[in-house]
Structure 1
Amino acid sequence: MYRILVILSFILYNASFGLAATCELLTPLGSEGAEIGIIMIPGANYPGERYIPLAKSIQAAMPSAKLWFGVTEGWLVDTPNPIEIAGAINSCRSQAENQQLGGKLYLAGHSLGGVMLEQYLQDQNNMATVSGVILFGSYLTDFLFGDDNNYAVPALTVIGSIDGLALSYAYREWRETQEANVPEMYPVYIAENVNHAQVGSGDVPGFVKDRDIAAVMDDDSAHLIYSDIVSTFLIMQNQDMFDAGLVETAQAHHLELVQYTESFLGPFHEAYAMEAIMGDNNWMIRGQEIMAQLTESDGMKVDNLIVPFDELGETKPSVEMSGDCAGTVKTYSTPEYDWDAFDAGVLTSASVIKAKFKLEDVVRENLCVPVLERRQCKDINEAAYKLAMEMASEDALSRFESVGTKLFFLDDSVSPWGPGWEYSGGLHYKNVNKTHTSLYSTSLISEPDFIIASAAGMHYCDLLSPYRALEWIYIQSVVGK
């Protein structure tokens, strides 16, 4: 916070001397066609001029349009901020007007630039002047808008399939868009094989390099992918301004993008349900099966209830018999998420699932089978990790196997009392070396003859969600390498 205050003070001081962000205007390549303007807000520590190659690529992708592009630059400390943004945008507008350029205006932002333009558009007077928003490696932040993507204007979210900084938010944004009133106004596309840095060009800021996934193509090739997506979005949102052939081509490309995005996000969709949705796919069901070494074919059903953390302490797993040697195990879970005040910079999967199982000894005795050696939370976590590797795409798994940091699992740390598990701090990771990280879980076991009968025969775990394991494979283990 102190650093932010220092930066803002520096910006205010310099702004008082007339030093502020300005605009470099790229005039249209042609003189006829649909007139559209785009103004670009850069990411943190990215000089604005590094977006000129992308801007030119977008103009080249739309030769039938009269497309002008304003690249904002000269930001103090090369970082967009709420103090300079209005002046930078107005500079682009003024230059365009001086050259008699107008048409529909779209604001584009990369990374932090997307957040800044969204904040700028909180003012309804500003919102009234734009026709849409284009977000590169950024998204409609929940801390500004909540989890509702019903935005006032069309909004494109495009995130690279190897964007180490924004990929975790891609599935969430896609899910929220599916729930919007008019989802086609707010498309979320995954750009194949491009990363976060490649929206810009040239040298990559150190903090981005440390958090991004290594590029697999050159910047020019990446810009072609991004520009094709932008042109598709602009044509789809303004079909009355383009001829039928271009609209038909854009519709076909849109369907390809939708299909690729849904396919890419399929494993994330499946893994999300395992941690956050009650039902047959909830990971707790598989967890109890691993603990008890029984399945439904052995007469054991599992019914899990997801509860808030403040209610978890009062819940007690049980076995409800439905006949001789058959019954339903009632379990409880609470997915916990990383604190994310500014909706940026964390993984969106659960950092831990607080899981309450019925002790396997009790379950097996009720189902009339011999008691076996007890298992650990470690066994469920290893299964989650294995499942995530099976769910991952070939590309993601190949990258992970080549450069990713591998997890290995240590025996559980068994807490001697309830609060020691309840407030365990989650899963415990330790970097062992450049290639491996260890992980262990805190558990709590109450014996069948525990003095408090209502709390007897329990096995509580801190679990690795298959969703978090998937994000480890796709993102956390491979960034900065």
Structure 2
Amino acid sequence: MSPLVPILLGLMTTFVVGSAAVTTEIIEPIRASGDEVALIFVPGAFQRAENYREIAKIFQEASNLRMWVALTGGYNRLLVSLAELPGAIDGAINALKQAGMVSENYIGIGHSLGGLMLGQYARNSTLKAIILMGSYVTYGLSNYRIPVLTLAGELDGRVRITKFVDDFENIFGDVSQSKEPIYRTPIVNIKGTNHMQFQSGPTPPTSVTNDLKPDLTDAEAHKTIGQYVNNFATATFSSEASEVRDAQKELENMVLESSKRFQPLKDMKALQAKDNSCPWAITSQQHFGEPHADAFEIKNYILELPMFVKSTPSFIWGVMSVTINNTAFIEFEDDYMRRPDVKQSPKEISLKLKSRDAIFEELSFMPEPEPSCRALNELARDAALNSATDAEKQRYKSRGRPIVFEDDILTTSEDDWNSTPLKTWEDSAGLHVQSVALVTAIDADELRGMHYCRVMAPYRALEWIIIDSLRD
């Protein structure tokens, strides 16, 4: 380790410590007293340490804590790795001690790829807490060893807001029993911010392509992020009881405010699966039974391949009622669980339903025109729009590309339907969606009165409305 070299930056004294590889820049506290903490920054992919200098100063100004900052940088190819990170954190801690820090309240703070690596490293480390900016803990927060603040941008086009839904749902499903998760592992969705507003440097080409236009200026975003970081750090490390209470109250407000934007996602996600049943399949079957949907019950079963391929819907008569049994198969994008930039909603939902003709014949109603699978996609779009927040609806209306529904692809055999996926494509007009249908006559020799559909999930429609439609 080379000797400390003082560098003056305005009124701020900075020390740079480093080796031939990873370096550490120390920014001394601006408070002369108070509980001592340190923020050890781990940069995002292709980001340099100095890109976090400006936001680090804002964090210091927002807090009454005696806050040190260590900016790590110089990673190989500007990509943080688990091979380099332990040495980088140890080097930062040594530099902090050499610069005069006495306490051991070290907080790792990682952006994007840096946060992913930090979340894996910090499970067994000397860090006392971590803050993830546009990033997440790979294997979930429920049993994480130390406190974690997760900051997600509402308009993050790189790490999608949908990536945080499961953790938010698992941790804050019922905080009425205990508020500890709000203070220990808060997940905050920052209104109107995008992926690159957690730093101040140049935007990498991938973010230029994939990130979304923010509603807040960088200055507004940095100020807001600083308040969130301060509340978490104060609630976790302050020795002043009144400051802790105030910070905890702010954390409660932060999570509650975030829940307004997570709720539509939770609602649409809930339509795809519940207790091994697909609620959207039940809604779709009810639509096919209109205007007599209250005349029968529906049971749906989510099946995996090849059981789904072998399944067929059926009528089951009770003493005074009839039940329609139908099935669904839900398909996701490859790597959706591992990659935060991949759509988290189902790629498609395959439904095996009873046709309207079959239902009306079974219940002795007058026949009516058979609906289309396209109509189910329009229902999905409407459900998504109705669930969206006012701000999301306004964005979609003012700068989003619409969903364009095409007429169904009509197949003539079960083999053709099984082998033909839902068609989607994007162009300047928007997202085109084309269902695949198989409709059989009620007097067919084998499959009688079936209506099979490959359709868009309401969750996928909402993900398009709030994220993908906003890209140029």
Shift of 1:449: 2.8
Asked if the contact 2:186–2:251 (Cα under 8 Å) also holds between the matched residues in 1, the reply is no
Asked if the contact 1:39–1:70 (Cα under 8 Å) also holds between the matched residues in 2, the reply is yes
Shift of 1:148: 6.0
Shift of 1:27: 1.1
1:61 aligns with 2:62: yes
TM-score (norm 2): 0.89
SS in 2 for 1:245: helix
Residues 380, 68 of structure 1: alpha-carbon distance in 2 compared, 3 angstrom cutoff: same
Once the two structures are overlaid, the 10-residue window that deviates more, 284-293 or 380-389, is 284-293
Residues 140, 457 of structure 1: alpha-carbon distance in 2 compared, 3 angstrom cutoff: same
- Corresponding residue number in structure 2 for 1:99: 99
Asked if the contact 1:271–1:467 (Cα under 8 Å) also holds between the matched residues in 2, the reply is yes
> Which residue, out of 146, 152, 156, partners 2:145?
152
- Corresponding residue number in structure 1 for 2:461: 469
Shift of 1:224: 1.1
Shift of 1:363: 0.8
- Corresponding residue number in structure 2 for 1:214: 213
Q: Structure 1: how far apart are the matches of 2:417 and 2:36?
A: 62
CA shift digits 1:251-297 (9 cap, x unpaired): 22112112111221111111111012159991112211222323543
Asked if the contact 1:278–1:305 (Cα under 8 Å) also holds between the matched residues in 2, the reply is no
Q: Structure 1: how far apart are the matches of 2:338 and 2:283?
A: 34
> Which residue, out of 157, 161, 173, partners 1:164?
157
Asked if the contact 2:42–2:72 (Cα under 8 Å) also holds between the matched residues in 1, the reply is yes
> Which residue, out of 271, 275, 285, partners 1:288?
285
1:360 aligns with 2:361: no
Amino acid at match of 2:444: F
Asked if the contact 2:109–2:115 (Cα under 8 Å) also holds between the matched residues in 1, the reply is yes
- Corresponding residue number in structure 2 for 1:264: 261
Residues 79, 365 of structure 1: alpha-carbon distance in 2 compared, 3 angstrom cutoff: same
The 5 A counterparts of 1:427-466 are 427-432=422-427, 434-452=428-446, 455-466=447-458
1:273 aligns with 2:270: yes
- Corresponding residue number in structure 2 for 1:113: 114
CA shift digits 1:84-115 (9 cap, x unpaired): 22232222112111123142111111111111
Amino acid at match of 2:438: L
Residues 43, 328 of structure 1: alpha-carbon distance in 2 compared, 3 angstrom cutoff: same
Residues 96, 178 of structure 1: alpha-carbon distance in 2 compared, 3 angstrom cutoff: same
SS in 1 for 2:325: strand
Q: Structure 1: how far apart are the matches of 2:45 and 2:261?
A: 28
1:389 aligns with 2:390: no
SS in 2 for 1:351: strand
CA-based RMSD of the aligned residues comes to 2.2
The 5 A counterparts of 1:80-99 are 80-99=80-99
Amino acid at match of 2:76: L
Residues 296, 451 of structure 1: alpha-carbon distance in 2 compared, 3 angstrom cutoff: closer
Amino acid at match of 1:287: S
Q: Structure 2: how far apart are the matches of 1:277 and 1:463?
A: 18
Shift of 1:456: 2.5
Q: Structure 1: how far apart are the matches of 2:122 and 2:235?
A: 22
Q: Structure 2: how far apart are the matches of 1:232 and 1:295?
A: 54
- Corresponding residue number in structure 2 for 1:12: none
SS in 2 for 1:276: coil
Q: Structure 2: how far apart are the matches of 1:217 and 1:318?
A: 53
CA shift digits 1:34-73 (9 cap, x unpaired): 111111111112222111111111111112x121111112
Once the two structures are overlaid, the 10-residue window that deviates more, 416-425 or 46-55, is 416-425
> Which residue, out of 302, 306, 319, partners 2:302?
306
Once the two structures are overlaid, the 10-residue window that deviates more, 158-167 or 306-315, is 306-315
Q: Structure 2: how far apart are the matches of 1:459 and 1:289?
A: 13
SS in 2 for 1:355: strand
How many pairs were matched up? 446
SS in 1 for 2:235: helix
> Which residue, out of 121, 134, 137, partners 1:137?
134
Shift of 1:441: 1.1
Q: Structure 2: how far apart are the matches of 1:21 and 1:148?
A: 28
For structure 2, list consecutive stretches of 5 or more residues without a partner in the other structure: 1-18
Asked if the contact 1:48–1:73 (Cα under 8 Å) also holds between the matched residues in 2, the reply is yes
1:175 aligns with 2:169: yes
CA shift digits 1:210-255 (9 cap, x unpaired): 21110222212111111111111122223xx332331232122112
For structure 1, list consecutive stretches of 5 or more residues without a partner in the other structure: 1-17
1:30 aligns with 2:27: no
- Corresponding residue number in structure 2 for 1:13: none
Asked if the contact 2:358–2:449 (Cα under 8 Å) also holds between the matched residues in 1, the reply is yes
Residues 118, 309 of structure 1: alpha-carbon distance in 2 compared, 3 angstrom cutoff: same
- Percent identity between the two aligned chains: 27
SS in 2 for 1:309: coil
Q: Structure 2: how far apart are the matches of 1:295 and 1:171?
A: 36
Once the two structures are overlaid, the 10-residue window that deviates more, 372-381 or 183-192, is 183-192
Shift of 1:349: 1.3
